[in-house]
Structure 1
Amino acid sequence: MPPTTYLTRHPSAGLLFVQLLGVLLYPWMEGTALGRTLFGAFGLVVLGLALHVVKRSPIQSWVAVLLALLVLTLSAVDMLLPSPRLDWLIALVEAAFYFYAAASLIAYMTADQHATTDELYAVGATFTLLAWAFAYLFSVCQLLLPGSFVAMIEPQAMRTWMELLFLSFTTLSGVGLGDIVPITPMARALVMIEEFAGVMYLALVVSRLIALSVNKR
């Protein structure tokens, strides 16, 4: 089966692949102006794929499109008129979009009593969407409350996107391995909420699909 046909049949697989590819590419995009431009372009690709995956019903599509358009509009305004206020507002809308996309995929996975191949890919895609969403929330927290997160290297510096995404992945997965620590009350509250979300996601969504897969066999 050609890759394009496979991805058309399983759109969640394409989103998961691009998200994981981003994890490998982001460290190369943070250091230079060209890299940051590529980072923005790659973000648009992820945004488009997430929109494609969320298109399960007209209402879901419209809400997702409105959030995506808001992200694009604010990003364009920020490029023309840079402002710290726009930075945290864009990050907040990005978080809302990824949370909405994750919730739509969870609704898709729990809509029936069958575990399809695309739904199994959606398990991984939803995990990455949640990790991205919380990373954007951490970014909002850091912009509004400087010094919310510290690390062993340059403790007082603003944490980069890759550092916040790393913190989000380790928190959501329950691994807890990392050198980045939340120190303000709000930062710790967000981390605790993500820990709870990670546990509930594994307990309610992932375990359900595994049980359906076993029963099917």
Structure 2
Amino acid sequence: MTHTNDKTESDEDLSQMIIGIGPCTYLLLLLIGLILVFPYLEEGILPRTLLGVLFSSVLLVGAFAGPQSQRGLILKLGLALLGIGLQWAALWTGNLATLNLAGIAYTASLAVSISGVLRYVLKRGRITADKLHGALAGYIMLAFAWAFIYALTELDAASSFGPALLDFTQPGTFFKLIYFSFTTLTTTGYGDIVPLTNHARSLVMIEEFTGVFYVGVLIARLAGLYPSPSPR
């Protein structure tokens, strides 16, 4: 009877940790939604505008995800607003130099947001649904950050990735790098997009072990945070 009760309580705890709602939950849902709708919002002014709104929302929600100090919030919000401003300037002017600056600002903003989310997730205390959702949101943001790094690399040195030339004036190009980043981070590696230069290969290797390290450390830390069942 005791074993049955323990299993029931364990199942209830697990369900509460999965279906709860918090700031990181909204960030996770926004990121997943962005991935799903991205292919449908690549052509035309209105769809691209909506895509810009979604990217801007990711930076803003990421800035407020998890508890933080006032100084940390100001830094995150400042980088987010800088990235958003440059993004909209690049969207309306079509200037590649502005797009390059926007990519740098986005990468920095995502990196700071990932750092804040991880500090929140790995903080000592009870594991909640919001922390689990933050862990997954951080992983997805990591893939997006690397996609921006690859885009900056390709803009700086054309044909760093292939086999076909990546033309950022054509719709769907950046989504290919997001896809490539996810397959690299998860070490799936389908091989349809590959790094062609040693510089690009070095970045890919760093992302590969970053993904493995993220998952390994996170699992170990969350396992350590999980409370042991109290003796009866």
Q: TM-score, normalised by structure 1?
A: 0.87
For residue 83 of structure 2, give the secondary structure of its aligned residue in structure 1: helix
Task: State which of 74, 80, 85 in structure 2 corresponds to 1:73.
Answer: 85
Deviations 1:86-119 (A, max 9, x none): 1111101101111111111111122214322211
Q: Match for residue 212 of structure 1?
A: 225
Gaps of 5+ in 2: 1-19
Change (3 A) 1:54 1:184: farther
Distance (whole Å) between structure 2 residues aligned to residue 157 and residue 66 of structure 1: 31
Post-superposition shift, 1:162?
A: 1.1
Query: Aligned residue pairs: how many?
Result: 207
- CA–CA separation in structure 1 for the residues paired with 2:92 and 2:180: 31
Alignment of 1:57-136 (within 5 A): 57-79=69-91, 81-136=93-148
Unaligned ranges ≥5, structure 1? 1-5
Change in Cα spacing, 1:157 to 1:116, as seen in structure 2 (3 Å) is closer
- Alpha-carbon separation, structure 1, partners of 2:191 and 2:138: 22
Report the residue type matching 1:15 in the other structure: L
TM-score, normalised relative to structure 2: 0.82
Q: Is the 8 Å Cα contact of residues 54 and 61 (structure 1) preserved in structure 2?
A: no
| Alignment partner of 1:40 out of 43, 52, 55 | 52
- In the aligned structure 2, how far is the partner of 1:57 from the partner of 1:178? 43
User: Do 1:105 and 1:122's aligned partners in 2 also have CA atoms closer than 8 Å?
Assistant: yes
Aligned residue identity for 2:228 = N
Give, as a single letter, the amino acid of the residue that structure 2 aligns with 1:117: A
Q: Is 1:175 paired with 2:188?
A: yes
Report if aligned partners of 1:146, 1:158 keep a CA contact under 8 Å in 2. no
Larger Rg: 2
Deviations 1:159-209 (A, max 9, x none): 611110111111111222341101122211211111111011011123311
Q: What's the % identity of the aligned pairs?
A: 30
